[in-house]
Structure 1
Amino acid sequence: MKVGIGYANEPDPLLSATRVIGEAVETGGISRPGLAIAFCGGQLDPDAYLKGLQSHLGMDVPVIGGSAIGVITNEHLSYRGYPATAAVLELNGIQCVVVSQTGLNGNERQTGRKLAEGLPDHTSDGLLFILYDSLKIPAGGDIPPVLNASAPLIEGIEGALRPYVPVFGAGLISDYGFAKSTSQFCGTFSATGSAAALLLSGNFQYYYRIMHGCSPLDGVYRKITKMAGSAIYELDGRPVVEIIDGLYGSGDWHHQHPVDLLTIGVNHGRRFGVPEEGSYVNRLITGILPDGKGIGMFEPDLEPGMEIQFMLRDGKKMIESARKNATELMAQVQADGKKARFGIYIDCAGRTGDYSNTPIEEAEEIQHVLNKHGTPLVGFYSGVEIAPFLHKSRGLDWTGVLLVLAE
């Protein structure tokens, strides 16, 4: 496997594509491109960018990717202007297939099932990389967005995936306000309201780590006593808005979409004792509901009767987690006698330095570690991150997922 990475930040999507592909082919020494993984910031025209990529790669090279808040490479990290990137892969015996399905906004589970059923026969030695449109209905004014859920999509995929392979990927967004449509690159075309999947198999080994960065606010467990869909109305029989007003000391958070600092966590580990970041699944709060009686969640996978904790986003812990996990992952690759050929970093858009108010970018830790090992890196800022976690593939929030392919 050979991989080249390209980057540009140009308002002209065709010029951007030309520079991205030129740099990727040159730095990777690519002579026979077999796959491209490409992303562009929400201000760049994604359809024109894809067409520009195809004008250089040819229509027989599948492109998977789409819109993002920003992009990450070995040398660049940007969510301002018109950032764009692509990884161009020369597969050298590794098999790849890209399939896609529309209709995500109507039924996530059915879309996932059809996506998996569209995959060809494969062995269990590979992985599935999926990208889907996070946005079902855009936000408007003080009305929070309606989002597509990762849980039923993944359940639909896994229910039809034979044999099973691990599922990685992301829900794509193009702006922090959840107001702009999001494009998915589906092999040879771009679409919205869709899901695309890349099946990779062959002579490679994958490694991954999940970077966290939240701490329990007060250690108090609160039971969900009233909710509907992805909206929570009551905890322990009390209005959830009233509880959060008390935590903030005001109602200023009512105007935040999504809510700053505070998330909701479910602890899958020991109930008491020192909190372990790897035991928590966290969920972003998209904002207060229009009627002011509840809060919206980024994923509708919580249920009445579940116990949750309020979590604080911890910038210091986030950066430490990125450094520690990336270092340990690359050490494991070396210990196994493998060579890391390619890294993909799926990073929650809430983890940017601007959004997290941190002095440095946590993704710089990923850059430093992979650059030390000479490993090509492509990354993007997402709405939802997907990886195997606690015995199943899950949609995650406020995480970074580092996936490394080695030979």
Structure 2
Amino acid sequence: MKTVQLQKKSGEAWQYLSNHIELIQPLVLVLGNRFLLESDSVYKELRDFFPHGHLVFGSSCGELVGSSVNDDHITVTAIELERSSFQIQTYNINDANGDSEIAGRAVVQKLNPKGLKYIFVLSEGSFVNGSALTKGMQESLPKVLITGGLCGDDSRFEKTIVSYNEAPKEGEIVVIGFYGDTLEVSFSIYGGWTPFGPERLVTKAEGNVLYEIDGRPALDLYKTYLGDKANELPGSALIYPLNVKNQENKQSFVRTILNIDEEKNAMILAGDVPNNSTVQLMMTNMDSIAAASETAAIRAMEGRSQPPQLALLISCIGRKLVLDQRIEEEIEEVRSVIGDDVVIGGMYSYGEIAPFYGERSCKLHNQTMTITLISE
């Protein structure tokens, strides 16, 4: 595997973060600030850098690269596989009339299933139902490992953009299928958030819209907990997600509030919250977040036969807000476990896609560090 990384900060020229080597038809992951990706010149500039590259774009809430976290940047990780291969397919959720499960099923079915070992997904994150998306993908390919994330737009929540070999646009879902007998992929997720307060019953929810908890309007109850921070919604909700328990999942999962509907007194979440599940507020601190990233890295390294060459990291914007000035500690903890020779690329997202630890079927997560380690 050969890799090249470069970055561009707002108002500055492109800068190589690694040795400049020529790559043959590489996979080029282009992650960055949404406003910068919307520039008319970005696609042409990167096509000039990688004339035969497969360019995959995704807007982020910040990028993880090397041992750093970038804001107001575009960060590029170009990958040339030497013993493996990849295939890229896309689908726009608008073609499924907004049905995320149909979109998830349709996009992975476009991949050649023969020899398919792993799928990395970058999805629009503004209005997709991540739970339904992952359900559709995994039901179509139940034996294939799937990880990735929902693209972001910092804490603006205005729109997210994704694309393959064209200028980034809204509504796109991109899947990258990896093939090869020697390809080895391992993963893990970990959060570091702690539930607090009473468990309450979800009495009315439809998909990823939460209307009532304990028979009361969900938004009213949530605002009561937030106090003065309620005036900062939906941004303040990133620091106080919900821990969800239901009978269908052996492990509890976390849901972030992406937006609010004042008229309906409801909260729009990154994924489903089933009726009759229980929810509890969660909180964390900087030390717990950093320690969780280390745990995720340790678990991702378990059982590997070969050292990883590439680490794809998807972490949640809520973790970024908590860490604030200590943001790079999260990536430093991962680096300390996987080693200095591993190329790191990734982003802060609106949702992370991976199986639970010890399982194989992918789910949508929030507030986790998701690590995928790849070697060939």
TM-aligned CA deviation for residue 99 of structure 1: 0.8
Whether 1:345 and 2:313 are equivalent positions in the alignment is yes
Question: What letter matches 1:212 in structure 2?
Answer: G
Residue in structure 2 matched with residue 274 of structure 1 by the alignment: none
Q: Per-residue displacement from partner, 1:149-178 (whole Å, max 9, x unpaired)? A: 1122222223333x7311111111223111
Q: Per-residue displacement from partner, 1:321-374 (whole Å, max 9, x unpaired)? A: 1123324534654xx3x121111111111211xx21555114333453267341
Pick from 110, 134, 143: which aligns with 1:154? Answer: 134
SS of residue in 1 equivalent to 2:156:
coil
For residues 43 and 199 of structure 1, what CA distance do their matches in structure 2 show?
28
Contact persistence 1:223–1:236 (CA under 8 A): yes
Question: What letter matches 1:41 in structure 2?
Answer: N
Residue in structure 2 matched with residue 275 of structure 1 by the alignment: none
Residue in structure 1 matched with residue 293 of structure 2 by the alignment: 322
Shift in CA distance, 191/285, structure 1 to aligned 2, threshold 3 Å: closer
Q: Per-residue displacement from partner, 1:11-36 (whole Å, max 9, x unpaired)? A: 36xx43xx34xx4552xx44434211
| 1:63-102 map, 5 Å | 63-79=55-71, 82-102=72-92
TM-aligned CA deviation for residue 86 of structure 1: 1.3
TM-aligned CA deviation for residue 114 of structure 1: 2.1
Pick from 182, 196, 205: which aligns with 1:217? Answer: 196
For residues 27 and 132 of structure 2, what CA distance do their matches in structure 1 show?
28
Shift in CA distance, 281/31, structure 1 to aligned 2, threshold 3 Å: same
Shift in CA distance, 65/164, structure 1 to aligned 2, threshold 3 Å: farther
For residues 23 and 219 of structure 2, what CA distance do their matches in structure 1 show?
58
For residues 402 and 329 of structure 1, what CA distance do their matches in structure 2 show?
7
Q: CA RMSD in A?
A: 2.7
Unaligned runs of 5+ in 2: none
Q: Per-residue displacement from partner, 1:22-76 (whole Å, max 9, x unpaired)? A: x4552xx444342111212123134532321111211x32122321121111143
For residues 31 and 246 of structure 1, what CA distance do their matches in structure 2 show?
55
Residue in structure 2 matched with residue 198 of structure 1 by the alignment: 176
Residue in structure 2 matched with residue 393 of structure 1 by the alignment: 362
Residue in structure 2 matched with residue 369 of structure 1 by the alignment: 336
For residues 369 and 282 of structure 2, what CA distance do their matches in structure 1 show?
17
Shift in CA distance, 329/30, structure 1 to aligned 2, threshold 3 Å: farther
Shift in CA distance, 295/326, structure 1 to aligned 2, threshold 3 Å: same
Whether 1:8 and 2:8 are equivalent positions in the alignment is yes
Contact persistence 1:75–1:367 (CA under 8 A): no
Whether 1:48 and 2:48 are equivalent positions in the alignment is no
For residues 189 and 78 of structure 1, what CA distance do their matches in structure 2 show?
21
SS of residue in 1 equivalent to 2:273:
coil
Shift in CA distance, 228/155, structure 1 to aligned 2, threshold 3 Å: closer
Q: Per-residue displacement from partner, 1:223-254 (whole Å, max 9, x unpaired)? A: 11123343323222233344334434x35414
Shift in CA distance, 30/326, structure 1 to aligned 2, threshold 3 Å: farther
Question: What letter matches 2:234 in structure 1?
Answer: H
Pick from 255, 264, 275: which aligns with 2:242? Answer: 264
| 1:166-177 map, 5 Å | 166-177=145-156
Question: What letter matches 1:360 in structure 2?
Answer: R
For residues 229 and 79 of structure 2, what CA distance do their matches in structure 1 show?
47
Contact persistence 2:297–2:338 (CA under 8 A): no
Question: What letter matches 1:398 in structure 2?
Answer: Q
TM-aligned CA deviation for residue 383 of structure 1: 0.9
Residue in structure 2 matched with residue 115 of structure 1 by the alignment: 107
For residues 222 and 113 of structure 2, what CA distance do their matches in structure 1 show?
50
Unaligned runs of 5+ in 1: 136-146, 272-277
For residues 371 and 205 of structure 1, what CA distance do their matches in structure 2 show?
15
Shift in CA distance, 121/188, structure 1 to aligned 2, threshold 3 Å: farther
Pick from 339, 345, 350: which aligns with 1:378? Answer: 345
Normalized against structure 2, the TM-score is what?
0.88
SS of residue in 2 equivalent to 1:340:
coil
Pick from 122, 127, 138: which aligns with 1:131? Answer: 122
Question: What letter matches 1:293 in structure 2?
Answer: N
Shift in CA distance, 244/174, structure 1 to aligned 2, threshold 3 Å: closer
TM-aligned CA deviation for residue 397 of structure 1: 0.7
Contact persistence 1:285–1:295 (CA under 8 A): yes
Pick from 50, 53, 58: which aligns with 1:57? Answer: 50
Contact persistence 1:129–1:168 (CA under 8 A): yes
For residues 191 and 293 of structure 1, what CA distance do their matches in structure 2 show?
31
Question: What letter matches 1:72 in structure 2?
Answer: L
Shift in CA distance, 227/251, structure 1 to aligned 2, threshold 3 Å: farther
Question: What letter matches 1:383 in structure 2?
Answer: Y
Aligned-residue identity in percent:
19
SS of residue in 2 equivalent to 1:134:
coil
For residues 350 and 54 of structure 2, what CA distance do their matches in structure 1 show?
23
For residues 174 and 331 of structure 1, what CA distance do their matches in structure 2 show?
33
For residues 351 and 194 of structure 2, what CA distance do their matches in structure 1 show?
19
